[in-house]
């Protein structure tokens, strides 16, 4: 039985596309993406999922009375689709312990820096690369880590370094980190955990 995966997104879905491609190419062979959830109604990531026959759901925070109600709806969808593993791929919303504790070591995120550098609350998207360039680091990269209630606070699974070049802009650095690290590490981690969950029989 394949590990059933849900991917949470907020934007364009380039990391989602890397996972879809890995699934097609046999890199992600122990798991299958069953559901893509977005907290943004018009996120292009949803179209990427639909183009590949993957079920989608839009769950908008503003439609719920509070964070617990919002997370309860996410949990309801996880149960409906019998999700074993959750992957945050450019998901811009922080989830509380109410949600994360239901998926201990079954929920991962990719962060565009070498944690513990340039991580935590406020460090997301281009802001991470702007900070790296402002600090003058010569090496950056990406990190895949388990998710808990602390932003970027879970145990590190995989890291990959990327060189910072003298003429880098935040946009140029962002693209290189994606191509050389994020799009490689996230499928690797997804397969590693999918295989482990299936082997241990710890699926839902």
Kind plus residue range of the DSSP H or E element containing 36: strand 31-38
**169-198 pLDDT per residue, tens:** 999 999 999 999 999 999 999 999 999 998
Confidence of residue 202 (pLDDT cuts 50, 70, 90): low
User: CA-based Rg of the chain, rounded to a whole angstrom?
Assistant: 16
Its pTM stands at 0.94
**Which domains are seen in the chain, by residue range?**
3-200 (3.40.50.170)
Task: Round to whole Å and give the CA distance between 53 and 56.
Answer: 9
Please confirm, yes or no, whether 98 is among the known catalytic residues: no
**66-101 pLDDT per residue, tens:** 999 999 999 999 999 999 999 999 999 999 999 999
Return the structure tokens found at 68: 């617990």
Residue 69 has a pLDDT of 97
Residue 134 has a pLDDT of 96
Catalytic hit among 98, 111, 129, 145: 111
Alpha helices in the chain (DSSP H): 14-25, 44-51, 67-80, 97-100, 126-135, 170-177, 183-200
């Amino acid at each position: 039985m394949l590990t059933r995966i849900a991917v949470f997104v907020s934007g364009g879905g380039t990391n989602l596309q890397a996972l879809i491609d890995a699934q097609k190419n046999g890199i992600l062979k122990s798991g299958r993406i069953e559901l893509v959830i977005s907290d943004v109604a018009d996120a292009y990531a949803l179209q990427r999922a639909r183009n590949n026959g993957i079920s989608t759901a839009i769950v908008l925070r503003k439609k719920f009375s509070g964070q617990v109600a919002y997370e309860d709806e996410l949990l309801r969808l996880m149960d409906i689709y019998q999700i074993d593993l959750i992957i945050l791929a450019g998901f811009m919303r922080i989830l509380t312990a109410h949600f994360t504790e239901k998926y201990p070591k079954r929920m991962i995120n990719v962060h565009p820096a070498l944690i513990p550098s340039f991580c935590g609350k406020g460090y997301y998207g281009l802001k991470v690369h702007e900070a790296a360039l402002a600090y003058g680091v010569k090496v950056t990269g990406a990190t895949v880590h388990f998710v808990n209630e602390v932003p970027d606070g879970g145990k590190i699974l995989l890291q990959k370094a990327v060189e910072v070049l003298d003429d880098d802009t935040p946009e140029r650095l962002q693209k290189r980190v994606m191509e050389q690290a994020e799009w490689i590490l996230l499928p690797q981690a997804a397969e590693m955990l999918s295989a482990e969950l299936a082997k241990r029989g710890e699926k839902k």
